[in-house]
Structure formats: structure tokens, C-alpha cells
Amino acid sequence: MMTSNNTSNKTTYFAPAERTGKEQIESERKTVAEYILKDPFARKILGSVMEVVLILDRNRQVVFTNEALHKLLGVKEDRAFLGLRLGELFKCVHADEMMGGCGTSEHCRMCGAVIAILSAQEGKPRSEECTIVQRDTNNAIDLAVSAVPFDVGGERYTLFIMLDISDQKRREAMERIFFHDVMNISGVISGLSEMLQLGKADKFPDLGKRIFKATRRLIEEIDMQRSLTLAEMGELQPRVEHIHAQQILKDSVDAYSSHPVANGKKLDVDASSEDVEFDSDAILLNRVIGNMIKNALEASEKGEQIKVGCRRKDGAVEFWVHNDAVMSKDVQIQVFRRSYTTKGKGRGLGTYGMKLLSERYLKGQVDFESSKGKGTTFFARYPA
């Protein structure tokens, strides 16, 4: 529930919205800097560690930084950071959603950094992980953070230490997904091949077809992981061609109609779909639409229907996939985070991959709507 701040006319969904004024920030910076300068050991540690170290005031605003942050952001003057909060430093997509800034939006309730800072302000050190999606680039930065309380001149400050673990988290997620999916499909191929070896082909006339489909799925999974790895490294090269929206839909529906997650479920193309012609990368587009369909199938029960469609809308071509399940508010807040998933540890690249490929490489946008009585619909829009 949204709460009102009595001192500032600002509102917040989580952390207090009050901000320290410029003059007070300068005073706090001077106090903290003098405190650190008196201790040669503290100066040496702060200047030599690779981790970014911030000192935050009671309103979570920066009053002191170490050289590691200057190098990371390419800024020499520490006053450029004064008064900012963590999400504002790193241009988090949620940092300016509310007037109160970083820490006050609905999404901030799930942010490990804000949670750790608030804990430290109550006198309890805390370590967490958080993911910041940057506004300008859509890059996802995974951080390991620690917040420790300490007092200077009777005022409570927070020593905030952060380490970029993006490469580690990316590698772990990629490896888990890759091995999980590849082992599942390899198991299917192994079972079907064993039946063939035992001479049961006459009892299962479609055995060859089933082996072919499973092998094709295995190749697609490997290629998908390759695409995501290259995309995150900024090395993916789209191959633009003239395509038809209806054909993209048909290819994606055909690919997933016989997929194990579609067992007992109805997958249909909406009759109102339009065959919009436009230029894009058909392979990457199939990856996105296929992931939308797969997610909808995984969220649906047997007997339920998944509808897909496309249309021209506001100068763009819009693909959509609908299912009857409703996502909880907490899931909706985190759905595009790289490491978040409702399917078990390390299974969270589906929606993140859709957004990454669409917004960084296909000049598009991915969004969703989910509400009781209407179900969940994911949208992917691209220039037409």
C-alpha cells in the first residue's frame, strides 16, 4: 500500500522519500571526509580495494565515495555523486518512477540494496544481492552488496560496499539452463534411439520423425544459448530481411505445438491476426515469440487455451500471447530480471532474453498485462 510522507508531500511504496538538502550534504561530506582522513589505515583500505565503497547518510544519499567508483563510472570529481542514491548513480530504470527517487517505487520493495541499507540504518549489518537494469542501455548489473552502520559525530551513516558479480551470475544462469534443457532433450533422443536399436520401429512408425524433432529442438536450444551469450556481450549481429508476421506466428506455433509443455493444452492463432509485412531478423524474432509461447504454455494447466496473434498498431507490428493464468504482484515486479524465475533456481532467462533481444537488437519493446479475470498477455512490438 502506498504511504504518505508527512514532511514532504512525496509518496513512497517502500523506503522513506525524504531527501537531504545540498548544503547539508556538503556538511556531511566534510564531516565524513575529516573522520576518514584522521585514520591512515582507513584511507589506505578505501583507496586500494577493488570493491566500490559508498558512505550514505540517513536518507540513503551519497556523502563519500572511493576511487573504485570513480574508475567504474569514469568520473574524477566525487562531488558529481554527492546527494545521489545508488539507483540514481547507476541510472536504474526504476529510480525516477516516483518523485522520491531511488527506493520509493513498488519495484524497490524487492531490491536487495535498499533492503540492506534500511537494515543497516536500524543498526543491523546485512548482505544481499540485487540486479539493476540500466535505463539508457537495458544492461542488467548483478551486485553483491553489504551495508554496515557506523556513527560519526552523533549521526548514523551507512558503509555500503558493492561488488559487480554480473559475469558470475550470467555464467551460472546460462550453465544451469543449458545443462537442464540439453540433458532433458538428450534423454528423449536417447530413449527414442534405444527403441530403434531394440527393433521397435515397426511398433512406432513415427519413431524417425520423433527423433528428428527432438534433435532439432536440441540444436535450437544450443543456438538460443549462443544467441543470448552473444547478445549480452554486445556481439550479436542481426540479419535483417523482409518478413511476414503471419509466417513468424505459424513457425512459432508449429515449433511448440508438439513440445512437451504443450501436452494437453490448446495453442491457437487468433482469427483476427493481420499479416503485416516488415523488416527484421526472423531468427531472433522467432526466439522471442517462441519464448512468449513457451512461458504461456508452462503457466497453463491441461485443457486451457493459449491464444497468439499479431496486428498493426500505432505504426508498429505487435505480436501477443495470452493465457488465463494471473501473475502475482511480486512476480510482475521482477518478471524481466535476469535471475528471477518461478520455475526453480537458474531458470530465469526466458522473459529477460525476450526483452534483451527485442530492445537491444530488434528496436522493439516487450511488455505485459496481468490481472484477475483477464489473465496474462505478453506483447512484443517492432517498427513496421
Q: Which residues pair with 52 in a beta bridge?
A: 162
Taking domain 3-164, whether its CATH number is 3.90.420.10 is answered by no
How far apart, in whole angstroms, are the C-alpha atoms of residue 206 and residue 163? 53
How far apart, in whole angstroms, are the C-alpha atoms of residue 158 and residue 330? 27
What pLDDT is recorded for position 303?
A: 92
Contact status, residue 53 vs residue 46, Cβ threshold 8 Å: yes
Tell me if domain 3-164 and domain 240-384 are identical in fold: no
Neighbours of 169 (CB within 10 A): 20
Q: How many CA atoms lie within 13 A of 184 on its CB side?
A: 11
Class of domain 240-384: alpha beta
What pLDDT is recorded for position 355?
A: 83
Contacts by 130-135 with C-beta closer than 8 Å and gap 24+? 131/337, 131/338, 131/339, 131/340, 132/86, 132/87, 132/90, 132/92, 133/92, 133/93, 133/336, 133/337, 134/90, 134/91, 134/92, 134/93, 135/91, 135/92, 135/93, 135/95, 135/96
Instruction: Give pLDDT tens digits along the chain (384 positions).
Output: 334 333 344 589 999 999 999 999 999 999 998 988 788 877 777 777 889 999 999 999 999 998 888 888 877 766 789 999 999 999 999 999 999 999 999 989 989 999 999 999 999 999 999 989 888 877 778 899 999 998 998 899 999 999 988 777 766 766 665 676 677 677 777 777 877 777 776 776 777 877 887 787 788 778 777 777 777 677 778 889 999 999 989 888 887 887 778 889 999 999 999 999 999 988 889 888 988 998 899 889 999 999 999 999 988 999 999 999 998 877 887 777 665 555 544 344 578 778 878 888 889 999 999 999 899 999 999 998
Q: Where are the domains of the chain?
A: 3-164, 166-237, 240-384
**Pairing verdict, β 277-280 and 126-133:** unpaired
Joined together, the cell numbers standing for residue 73 give 563510472
**Residue 342, Cα to own-chain centre: how many angstroms?**
13
What pLDDT is recorded for position 168?
A: 78
* Prediction pTM value: 0.61
Residue 80, H or E segment = none
Residue 302's alpha-carbon distances to 263, 291, 365, in angstroms, are: 7, 19, 30
Joined together, the cell numbers standing for residue 34 give 575529516
